[in-house]
Every structure is written in C-alpha cells, then in structure tokens.
C-alpha cells in the first residue's frame, strides 16, 4: 500500500504539545506495514487511559487533558488514527475502509498489549473504539463516551432512496455553514452536507474547519497545529474519506459488524459513562440508545459537558478530565 508520511518539521514547536512521539508498525492488510504514531505519558505501571480522536482531528486535540491525567497517576496513551496526525497516510481514498481502520487499531492495541483500560472516545474515535471494546471486552475496565456512537443505519429505509438521489445534487457549502445545516432538522440531514463537503470541497483546510466549530476563539498557532499533519491536499485522503464510511444507510458496509458489536455492548456491565456536550448538533440525542441498552450505563454519573460543541476536548478539556476521574471513582 502506498502511503505518505508527514515531515517531522511540521510538528516542531506546536503550542502546548511537548510530548515525545512513539511509533508502532501494523499490518496494512496488503502485505506491507503502516506506522502508527501515539503518545504514551505517565507512569508505565499506571492504570491506562486511552484517548481516541475523531475526524479531522489528531492527538493534538487531547493536549490539555493529558497533563492532569498524568498528575492523577494514569498512564495516558493517545494514538493518531491512520491517515491523521503523525501516523502514515495511505495515498488513495479507496485505501480507507471502516473495516481496515478497525483492523489497524486492533493490531496496534494488541501489539501494545494494553489492559485495564479506561477509554475516552469521541466522533470516529467511538466508531472504531466501540468496535475495539466489543472485540476485546476483557481489556477495558471503564468507558467514557463523548459525542459519539456506533451507527447501524441512522436513516430510515423508506427515506434512503430519495436522500441518496438528493445527495448527488447537494452543493458543497462553506465550512462556516455546516453548523446551520446540522441544526436544520426540517431539510436534508446535515451529515450529508458534511459528507459532501469533505469529499468534494476543493480547498479543505483542517485548521479552518476546527476553528469554525470551536466554541472559543482559537489562536493562529492552534489552527496551524490542527493543519500540521496535512502539508497539502495530497495528504488528506483519509480526512476526505471518513464521513463516507459512516454507515448512515442500512445497506452500507459494516452495518452488520456494528450490529454484532451492539450485541456485545448489551452485555457490557462495566462502568460506562456518557459525557455528551450541550451544543453538538452532530450527535445530540445519541446517548439515549446507550442509556437504554448498555448495562454499564446504569447508575453511572452521566453528565452534560457545558458550553461545548462537537469537539468538547478542545472546548472544555477540564470537564472531560473530570468525567474520566468520575468513572474511576476519583471525583
């Protein structure tokens, strides 16, 4: 598999990101290998906190959460998904599939032999992470789910055909318009605009996208840091592909695999805390299915992360740390 590797100098002197890079090679599923980057901070014998990011972010998203978790005595591990951050980036959009992302991160997890894991995940971190929990439930001791889910076809089948037809005619909107599209519940689902934007926008700029959805103003340094993994559009195949891999229709790949993972989650009785934000138009209401069906949610001190949008780790890192401490009985 052909891939691109972002030059190291792109990551020099990023604001509030002093962490040493670590790397692990995994099977690329085509007979070669890909390098996954991850952070590994804190005591080697500490209880593990695994932080998994989504699209289009990378482990930089967790820069303000790592130090207080280390101070609390945790070993904090934060990978960059393949196609993001300092991890290798397969060159073709077609190289990225949901199944491959699960396989790549499963290989990484088992090669590191992480156990007794408290996992915090959001966005695509949860689509992949929940599959890891279902595949290796014995490795996970606590779960914090924040603005994420495990979809098995979110759009009712009777609307699938007209929405697929409408998708072909959707305009590619500006990044600043995406929030309004998500909030408009009377028209085309906002996620389809996001899918179209990532797949076809001629000037996809990751830093600007992150700034557009942040609740607090971001500095020029932060915007540049989010964009650092992508020197040019040629590095963005993964960022462009991810929304098209979310199984929003019932006939899309991995629906069956996600349904099988749900069967495992319906037996998962370890502490499972929900920490969705108060202003995320993307995943609002997504916690209800987990509350109803995951045994570990019963009795957990669920919370709403206040004054936060989709990327609540950027907006309210302190509240996210508090959720991790709470699920471990340390609040």
Active-site residues: which are they?
123, 280, 310
CB 320 within 8 A of CB 307: no
β-pairing, 89-90 vs 117-121, is: unpaired
Token pair for 177: 């318009």
Element (H, E) at 140: strand 140-145
Peptide bond into 277 cis (omega under 30): no
β-pairing, 48-52 vs 75-79, is: parallel
Cα distance between residue 328 and residue 331, in whole Å = 8
Q: Is the dihedral of CA 217, 222, 227, 231 positive or negative?
A: positive
Tell me the Ramachandran region of residue 42: left when phi exceeds 0, alpha when psi lies from -120 to 50, beta otherwise. left
Angle at which helix 98-112 crosses helix 124-135, to 10 degrees, equals: 60
Closest C-alpha among 292, 309, 226 to residue 60: 226
Token pair for 75: 């070993």
Determine the 3-state secondary structure of 108 from DSSP.
helix
Phi, psi of 35 (to 5 degrees): -95, 125
Structure-token match 């991160």, residue found:
105
Determine the 3-state secondary structure of 17 from DSSP.
coil
């Amino acid at each position: 598999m052909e891939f691109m590797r972002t030059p190291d100098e792109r990551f020099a002197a990023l604001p509030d990101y002093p962490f040493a890079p670590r790397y692990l090679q995994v099977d690329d599923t085509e007979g070669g290998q890909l390098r996954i980057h991850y952070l590994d901070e804190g005591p080697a014998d500490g209880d593990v906190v695994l932080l998994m990011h989504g699209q289009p972010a990378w482990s930089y998203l967790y820069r303000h959460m790592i130090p207080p978790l280390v101070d609390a005595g945790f070993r904090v591990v934060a990978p960059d998904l393949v196609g993001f951050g300092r991890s290798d980036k397969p060159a073709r959009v077609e190289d990225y599939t949901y199944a491959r992302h699960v396989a790549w991160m499963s290989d990484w997890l088992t090669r590191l032999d992480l156990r007794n894991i408290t996992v915090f995940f959001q966005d695509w971190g949860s689509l992949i992470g929940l599959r890891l929990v279902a595949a290796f439930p014995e490795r996970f001791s606590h779960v914090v789910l924040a603005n994420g889910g495990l979809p098995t076809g979110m759009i009712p089948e009777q609307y699938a055909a007209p929405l697929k037809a409408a998708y072909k005619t959707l305009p590619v909107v500006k990044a600043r318009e995406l929030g309004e599209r998500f909030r408009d519940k009377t028209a085309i689902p906002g996620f389809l605009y996001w899918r179209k934007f990532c797949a076809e926008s001629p000037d996809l700029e990751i830093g600007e996208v992150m700034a557009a959805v942040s609740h607090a103003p971001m500095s020029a340094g932060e915007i540049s840091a989010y964009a650092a993994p992508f020197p040019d559009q040629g590095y963005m195949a993964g960022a462009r592909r991810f929304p098209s891999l979310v199984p929003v229709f019932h006939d899309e790949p991995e629906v069956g695999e996600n349904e099988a993972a749900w069967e495992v989650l319906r037996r998962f009785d370890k502490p499972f805390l929900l920490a969705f934000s108060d202003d995320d138009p993307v995943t609002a209401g997504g916690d209800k299915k987990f509350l109803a069906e995951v045994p570990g949610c019963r009795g957990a001190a669920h919370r709403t992360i206040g004054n936060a949008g989709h990327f609540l780790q950027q907006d309210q890192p302190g509240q996210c740390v508090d959720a991790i401490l709470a699920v471990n009985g340390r609040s």
